[in-house]
Amino acid sequence: MTAKGNPPVTFAIGACETQNVNVTVLPCFGLSEGSIPTAKEMWNIMVKDGQFARENFNSGPSMPSSSGETLCAAVSASAWVEPHGKCTIAFGLAWSSPKVKFLKGSSYHRRYTKFYGTSELAAKYLVHDALKNYKRWEEEIEQWQNPILNDDRLPEWYKFSLFNELYFLVAGGTVWIDSSSSNANVRNNQQQSTEADRGDKAVCRLTTANSCYSTAANFGLEGHGKEQYTFNNNDEDVGRFLYLEGVEYMMWCTYDVHFYASFALLELFPKIELSIQRDFAKAVLSEDGRKVKFLAEGNWGIRKVRGAVPHDLGTHDPWSEMNAYNIHDTSKWKDLNPKFVLQVYRDFAATGDMSFGVDVWPSVRAAMEYMEQFDRDNDGLIENDGFPDQTYDTWTVHGVSAYCGCLWLAALQAAAAMALQLGDKDFAEWCKTKYLKAKPVFEEKLWNGSYFNYDSGSSSNSRSIQADQLAGQWYTASSGLPSLFDDFKVQSSLQKIYDFNVMKVKGGRMGAVNGMHPNGKVDETCMQSREIWTGVTYAVAATMILSGMEDQAFTTAEGIFTAGWSEEGYGYWFQTPEGWTIDGHFRSLIYMRPLSIWGMQWALSMPKAILEAPKINLV
């Protein structure tokens, strides 16, 4: 049993018996002197006989422990080995906790119960299957990894980092539930707000109202090869998936960070990625009117505004109570909605999944239309509001910003492309008109001849070189869309970032610092401007690869390996933090964003569906 009434967990240990390996068990022993037998007696048996009694297999279940008592079990495997001979003995460990329960009471069955049932005793079947199948699993892992491991063009540190950063998908706090469990919980949960219910119904209404897009989309399938649909299997239920922003920031599926990490899911578990996007699409059209106090400004607002992409899916009651983040009012953030549109279009383009595109299209439209309120001078371009209204949530932005403005331009382009492919020509024209109006304004206000200024304000850091200034261009290039800017501007900006944000920090051996003044001094405006963000560094490197700057890309990303993983670094093995400073102080260990290294792999081996997608003309 576990503490505070949480669901129980069962462990199972086993060993694989073969012609040469004899397995015996001791179902129960204790650690205290009063136990029968004790741990000391267990070891004495092993020293004397090298095995336990065979009749223990038939001893039946042992008595459960009493409160405060610790009971143990042991499995022994023994074999005769000839001089200079070899013998492999396989042990297995499994555990089963079929139900996950959140603090506010909602509980769900984990995904594996779909295959193993809901009993805690499934652990013995799990350990059995592991021992029977582990060799095949290892072979399949090697088959998956070998094309990358054997690619002589790739540096060894990169291969090492690429696969090891995937630790986060398990160790970062992951909940994968069965969909039927989710549906049952929704039916039984009486705590859902009426606002959220209205949002659910709105999804149904809008999907029905936009069925014309489904008809139009069918015509869009003509002329595309079947290879575009390798990801697509709408009949397969993949459940619902949550992963934490980090072990110190305990919010599920934090979306501004998922923007960076999602490349790993799209490349390796694309159906899970689409499932997450569907959850956010549904959330866009919902509203939760409960009042929340925002800590930074001290004002009050509602928890979830209709049309705004939520910051996260919640903490204590995910899916039902979103936006656990309460430092700022994220309904006024400028990056979340464009990031939703960009991720949806990238996933749509990569998978060729028309049903996904049709299902989420009403939310894409709503997310774009919501952003109109932030274009206050009607120039087609959104403005920031003089507070940290984006993922850099301590770094204040004034007026037009390189980061959010670039994301907005890219979102306009992606929404127009998606609208055309789904047959919504009017909305495509709306996006195209805004894009053509906004792009020259963006360049006029921010381009300084060698890079895009941090923002159009007059603060001391308005001309800072932001490492992440081309985030929108990264997604544009990753999705097969036309470049936002001419090649000179893109490459000049990236070269500036490389020369200043990367190479002027310990000779490029720490990654890319977020902000750098044009005089070569780190931007000390706030905590985040002076930090090196691991995931952002990988994203910048991916953008460099997509712009034909592979040498600079690998040098940039190698700084994260050197500081985080190498023997001369800070020892952050399997706990890569959000970021660190030049003197090596870290913040937020075991963080989601470094999964963006898979954005580099995406750039190096672009899916065929992206490369062969129909080109969209926005000129």
What's the token pair of residue 112? 């594996």
- Predicted model pTM: 0.90
Tell me the per-residue pLDDT of 464-485, one tens digit each, with 9 for 90 and over: 999 999 999 999 999 999 999 9
**Averaged pLDDT for residues 7-27:** 94
pLDDT of residue 206 exceeding 80, the answer is no
- Among all chains, which residue has been given the structure tokens 């074999």? 79
Sign of CA dihedral 110, 112, 118, 121: negative
Instruction: Output DSSP code: residue 334.
Output: S
Asked whether 267 and 601 are in contact (CB, 8 A), the reply is yes
Tell me the per-residue pLDDT of 586-616, one tens digit each, with 9 for 90 and over: 999 999 999 999 999 999 999 988 988 777 7
- Distance (Å) of CA 23 to CA 17, 41, 52, 57, 85: 6, 19, 9, 10, 20
**Averaged pLDDT for residues 10-17:** 94
What DSSP line would sit under 146-176, residue for residue?
HHHHT-TTS-HHHHHHHHHGGGHHHHTTEEE
| Percent of the residues in the chain that have a pLDDT greater than 70, as a whole number | 91
Tell me the per-residue pLDDT of 547-562, one tens digit each, with 9 for 90 and over: 999 999 999 999 999 9
| Gap between the Cα atoms of 466 and 296, Å rounded | 24
Tell me the per-residue pLDDT of 397-415, one tens digit each, with 9 for 90 and over: 999 999 999 999 999 999 9
83 pLDDT band, cuts 50/70/90, is very high
Instruction: Output DSSP code: residue 310.
Output: P
Tell me the per-residue pLDDT of 30-45, one tens digit each, with 9 for 90 and over: 887 777 889 999 999 9
pLDDT of residue 216 exceeding 50, the answer is no
- Beta-bridged to residue 93, according to DSSP, are 13
Instruction: Identify the pLDDT of residue 613.
Output: 77
62 pLDDT band, cuts 50/70/90, is confident
Q: How many CB atoms lie within 10 A of CB 130?
A: 18
Single-letter residue type at 492: S
